Amino acid sequence: MPRIRLTLAYTGTHYHGWQLQRSGPTVQGVLENALQRLAGQPVRVHGAGRTDAGVHALGQVAHFDIPDHRGHLPWQRALNALLPDDICVRQAETVPPDFHARFSATAKEYTYTLWTEANFLLPQRRPWTWAVGPLDLAALDAAATYLLGTHDFASFQNTGTPITDTCRTLMLLTREPGPTPWEITLRFRANGFLKQMVRNLVGLLVAISQGRLTPTVIPDILAARNRAAAPATVPPQGLCLERVFYDRLD
């Protein structure tokens, strides 16, 4: 059976996340419904990351196996003809049978976009940003240096995914101009992320940028290995899965 890799973009506003669940529509569910129509049988799709409700993606990666007699289909065009406007296939390709969208990944990259103007929020940007008002960017940059590298990020993990190792290597944490003059985008790249880790790190960085904490508290928060030691989880709509890295293919 051929294995197909997809690179997907989607707006997460109207979905209950990536992963199948009974509470409402999910990106995985919509994609599997389209594949079933094309394959004539149920098809299970495996994603690189389980984005939460309201979280967007520009570079989600997924794979599925398809019967030999359907392997020749032009998957990008065929799927995009069936998918709703808020999900699209950017690329489709046949990959080796041992490729796995999740377990073959070596790193992931997310962005989180902040709205920094206190007096208004453009309606067009509301689904894509978290409005926080003015920030001390020098304090934000200073805080970022404490987070780079390999740490135990247990204080930034929400409950829900049982794991034994909470150490991760944060390879990149940068601040970039956003799509409008009133936005900044934070970019995170790591060899893996804990549940809602990026949203929790953003909560810390914003608290520091608003003067509610100082960068020097970060080592103590990391050492606590306790979720209660760090600020609250921020809203999902500013978060976007930008890219998944694979050593063999990227």
Shared domain check, 123 and 209: yes
Instruction: Let me know whether 28 and 84 are in one domain.
Output: yes
Distances 198 to 5, 67, 105 between C-alpha atoms, Å: 25, 38, 18
Tens of pLDDT, residue by residue over 122-148, are: 999 999 999 999 999 999 999 999 999
Q: Is residue 52 flagged as an active site residue? A: yes
Predicted pLDDT of residue 22: 85
Give every CB contact of residue 85 below 8 A, 6+ residues apart in sequence: none
85 shares its domain with 119: no
Closest of 176, 218, 179, 175 to residue 200, by C-alpha: 218
Reduced to 3 states, what is the DSSP secondary structure of residue 60?
Answer: strand
Degrees to nearest 5, angle at CA 133 with 174 and 120: 120
Considering 95, 122, 147, which residue would you say is the last residue of a domain? 95
Distances (CA, A) of 148 to 151, 180, 190, 202, 204: 8, 27, 9, 14, 14
pLDDT of residue 250: 55
**Which alpha helices (DSSP H) does 21-161 contain, by range?**
27-39, 75-82, 137-147
| In a shared domain, residues 225 and 113 | yes
Instruction: Supply the CATH number for residue 232's domain.
Output: 3.30.70.660
On whether both 241 and 127 belong to a single domain, the answer is yes
Judge whether 102 lies within some domain. Answer: no
pLDDT, position 72: 82
Asked, for residue 35, whether it belongs to a domain, the answer is: yes
pLDDT of 63 > 80? The answer is yes
Q: Which of 72, 95, 118 is the last residue of a domain?
A: 95
Regarding whether 139 and 59 lie in a shared domain, the answer is no
Please check whether residue 100 lies inside any domain of the structure: no
DSSP 231: P
pTM: 0.95
Domain that holds residue 34: 3-95
Q: What is the DSSP letter of 80?
A: H
Alpha helix positions (H), the chain: 27-39, 75-82, 137-147, 197-209, 218-224
Nearest to 4 by CA among 30, 27, 38: 38
**8 A C-beta contact, residue 215 and residue 131:** no
- What is the residue-averaged pLDDT of the chain? 95
CA–CA gap between residue 221 and residue 201 (Å, rounded):
11
pLDDT tens profile 217-249: 999 999 999 999 999 999 999 999 999 999 855
> Nearest 5°: phi and psi at 79?
-70, -40
What pLDDT, on a 0 to 100 scale, did the predictor assign at position 153?
98
Domain count for the chain, please give it.
2
Q: Which helix (H) or strand (E) holds 9?
A: strand 3-10
What does residue 28 show for φ and ψ, rounded to 5 degrees? -60, -45
Strands 56-65, 239-245: pairing is parallel
Share of the chain above pLDDT 90, in %: 91
Backbone φ and ψ for 107, nearest 5 degrees, come out as: -165, 160
Q: What is the pLDDT of residue 130?
A: 98
Q: Are residues 112 and 37 part of one domain?
A: no
In this structure, the answer to whether residues 55 and 169 fall within a common structural domain is: no
pLDDT at 54 over 70: yes
How many CA atoms, within 13 angstroms, populate the side-chain half-sphere of residue 49?
A: 35
For the stretch 153-212, pLDDT in tens is: 999 999 877 788 999 999 999 999 999 999 999 999 999 999 999 999 999 999 999 999
Q: Residues 148, 224: one domain?
A: yes
Question: Which of these is catalytic: 52, 85, 141, 247?
Answer: 52
